[in-house]
Amino acid sequence: DYEDQVERIALRRLLPKHGRRLLELGAGFGRLTSEYSMYDQVVLVDYSFSQLQYAQEKFGNNNRFIYVAADAYQLPFRAGVFDGATIIRVIHHIADVNVALRQVRRVLAPNGKLILEYANKRNIKAIYRYSRGLQDWDPNDLQPVEFIELNFDFHPMYMRQRLTGAGFTTQRSVPVSFFRIGAIKDHLPSKMLAGLDGLLQLTGLHYTPSIFTSNTAVGASPDNLASDSLFVAPGSGDELKREGDTLISTRTNQRWAIRDGIYDFKAPIDE
């Protein structure tokens, strides 16, 4: 559909020409995974085990694609094992943006790239509605607005501040979905609208409901890109050993299951 097409246009503008290993946080059923062919390996992370099963059916169970059920607040990865990460249609469901972004920064190697999409609070529809007294929240206020439970819109400056605080610098910001209006989408061909949207993305007019950003990890951090040992215990960072389809903490003996090729770090076994 239109939204999918314009997101792919923005992604292709921001993705690097080549990368070693990508963290796709909030991968779902792998809607956008095919866009990451420039990476040698893609690790799909989602909290939904069933969504990862759909992705696995689509992309197969091999070393190029790794499937991990995990909490964004406690990523079960060794520091510095990724040189790229994407967070698309996800951050607006996360209450503590600071923790999630710091987790992503921790697992990125020096100069790793993060493509982050967020819902823009300061969009033209919200500005119009506020000016006419049709909504009570101010789109120019920096604080996020939770318009329904666990659905947040963010001011661009707020998100830039959160990225900086987490250890990123923002190189580029792309406005996306200029025509997310039912009266337009329902009457004009999606391919035509996507083409126009692609042109408007170059204008830098940040009044769209969605914004894509390209960011680089800065500051000192480990570089473990060459390592094939990706996993540590979530939260503690303890080393893990594998026994069959189980990963076991070498310190606490907590265990996490590998179920049908999907690493399940949502909770230890028997908890």
269: in domain: no
Q: Is residue 230 part of a domain?
A: yes
In the structure, what pLDDT confidence band is assigned to residue 271 with cuts at 50, 70 and 90? low
Average pLDDT of the residues in 215-228: 96
Please indicate, yes or no, if residue 257 is contained in any of the structural domains. yes
Q: Does the residue 270 lie in any domain?
A: no
pLDDT of residue 183: 82
What is the count of structural domains for the chain? 1
Q: How far apart are the first and last CA of the chain?
A: 41
Using CA atoms, how far apart are residues 139 and 180, in angstroms rounded to an integer?
18
pLDDT tens per residue, range 164-217 = 999 999 999 999 999 998 888 888 999 999 999 999 999 999 999 999 999 999
Q: What is the pLDDT of residues 5-15, one digit of tens each?
A: 999 999 999 99
Record the pTM: 0.96
User: 231 pLDDT band (50/70/90 cuts)?
Assistant: very high
Position 243 in a domain: no
For residue 108, the enclosing domain spans 2-237+249-264
Residue 71, Ramachandran bin (φ over 0: left; ψ between -120 and 50: alpha; else beta): beta
**Arithmetic mean of pLDDT over the chain:** 97
The percent of residues above 70 in pLDDT, for the chain, comes to 100
pLDDT in tens, 120-152: 999 999 999 999 999 999 999 999 999 899 899
Q: Are 22 and 84 in contact (CB under 8 A)?
A: yes
DSSP letter, residue 72: T
Residue 271 lies inside a defined structural domain of this protein: no
The answer to whether residue 30 sits within a structural domain is yes
Which CATH number goes with the domain that contains 123?
3.40.50.150
Whole-number pLDDT of residue 186: 82
φ and ψ at residue 90, rounded to 5 degrees: -130, -45
* Strand pairing category for 19-25 and 82-87: parallel
Question: Is residue 19 assigned to a domain?
Answer: yes
